[in-house]
Amino acid sequence: MSTTDFPEQRSTGPDTLAAELLRTPPQNLEAEQAVLGTLMSSIGAASRFFAETLETGITAGEYYRPAHATIHQAILEVHGSGEQVDPITVGEELTQRGELARVGGASYLHTCVQAVPSAASGSRYAEIVRAKAYRRTAIEAAQKILQYAYSDEGDEGDVRALVEQELTAIVAGTPGLATAPPTVGDLYLDYVAELDEIQNGRQTGLTYGLVDLDTITSGMHPGNVTVIAAQSGVGKSTLALNAAVAAAKKGAKVMFSSLEMSSTELMHKIVAAEGRIGLHHLTRKDGLTPESWKEVERLGRELFRTLPLRVYRPDGAFLRDIESAARASVRNGGLDVLVVDYVQLVETEQARNATREQAVAGVSRGLKNLSVALDCHVIALSQLNDDGLMRESRAIKNDASVVLRVERPDLHEPESPRAGEVDVVIEKNRFGPLATVTAAAQLHYSRFVDMAQT
């Protein structure tokens, strides 16, 4: 076979790669001019072309030329004020902002209008501009990954985390904040509409599985963290798993990450709770009756087959592994709730001389950042010591929006008149008052239920 049958072999050393990435980024200045020209000439009967162009989602940050981004923003300002958008009104807006000369003067605005082949194709021009911007975002991510990979910083886990973070942002189509955040005036109408729905009884957050707890906290909200704290054996994992299943049954995408229990143990608990099968019957030989087996089979058909609940048992105990699995869940259907059982078992790449409190604080902050980055709610379990105090509590509580402490009155007093009850003490609540919610502890079924259900 001749060597000409093979594609040309190219060097892939750092110098060559760097040179490749330093080429002129993808762009189409003619398309950018056509978009701006469409927006400034779509008046009267052609006004629908203005709306169609903006409906593509194009933003000022997606233009390659800074001057075009400035003009686009001025067009939005004029439109937002209720005025007709044309080269004269846009020019006046730029003049008031002291930016007209910087974008090329009034004549350049007319040049953009003249560059429009057909205003009816404005949305297509916008799509071209957005496609080029997306490619530039991919190149920027590749450059960041390349620079980090060639450096001596971190280890292979850090490199993987950076790669996944950058690729997740690209795949999700969210390269970053492209425009200035909205003002309260922009938010007001949507806020009033949502407020009306809240006042008419719409549930604002995902359910915890307990009616009173949902009422006081208004449920679980994206970008927030709930800490469930309890001593060993009280039932913090049970409460968290009940909440995970309850939210998933309402359609939420949930991932339960356990560093303490195996996937089989978690499945035992879900089957016991949902099938009302004694947990001890599931874990011993010949413990299931034929009727119980039928219930297990029913759950498989009617619940597990469609329940959007993922169970993750990481090979290691590093936060980056949990983050990696969470981002994979986002890419494969989405993620609304992430449960981490439990915080003190998670490790981070801390300095060797870091204290345990500093290490746990790093985990807590990492989970809070993850809830915001992935727009999901995080339930973080925390171990209480024998004195009822949360280990490394300050950092964990600071990062949480809701802190729940689980107490069982009969834990040390089996003959207590409150045997079979559990108190969920709301120690912190950014969405409402502090209170104590009492529920029934049906631990033989591995579940907590509202007192009204007993």
Q: How far apart are CA 41 and CA 34, in angstroms?
A: 10
Say which CATH topology domain 204-453 has.
Rossmann fold (3.40.50)
- Going by the DSSP 8-state scheme, the letter that residue 46 receives in this structure is G
Q: For the chain, what are the domain ranges?
A: 10-180, 204-453
Q: How far apart are CA 108 and CA 91, in angstroms?
A: 10
DSSP structure string for 138-169: HHHHHHHHHHHHHSS-S-HHHHHHHHHHHHHH
Order of strands, sheet of 337-341, starting from the edge strand that comes earlier in the sequence: 309-312, 254-258, 337-341, 377-383, 225-230, 402-407, 421-429, 435-442, 447-450
- Summarize pLDDT for 159-200 with one digit per residue, the tens: 888 888 877 777 666 544 445 677 888 888 888 887 887 777
Helix (H, G, I), strand (E, B) or coil at 418: coil
Beta pairing, strands 435-442 & 447-450: antiparallel
Two domains, one topology: 10-180 and 204-453: no
Q: What is the pLDDT of residue 213?
A: 93
- Summarize pLDDT for 261-309 with one digit per residue, the tens: 888 898 999 999 998 988 888 888 888 888 989 988 999 888 999 999 9
- CATH architecture classification, 10-180: Orthogonal Bundle (1.10)
Sign of CA dihedral 265, 453, 209, 301: positive
Q: How far apart are CA 175 and CA 7, in angstroms?
A: 33
List the pLDDT tens digit at each of the 454 positions of the chain: 443 443 344 444 555 555 555 678 899 999 999 999 999 998 876 777 888 898 888 999 999 999 999 999 999 998 888 788 999 999 999 999 999 999 999 999 999 999 999 888 898 999 999 989 988 888 888 888 888 888 877 777 778 888 888 777 776 665 444 456 778 888 888 888 878 877 776 657 899 999 999 989 989 999 999 999 888 888 899 999 999 999 999 999 999 998 888 888 989 999 999 989 888 888 888 888 889 899 889 998 889 999 999 998 877 677 878 888 888 888 888 999 999 988 888 876 554 566 777 777 778 888 888 898 889 999 999 887 655 555 556 677 888 899 999 988 887 787 778 888 899 999 999 988 999 999 998 888 998 999 877 6
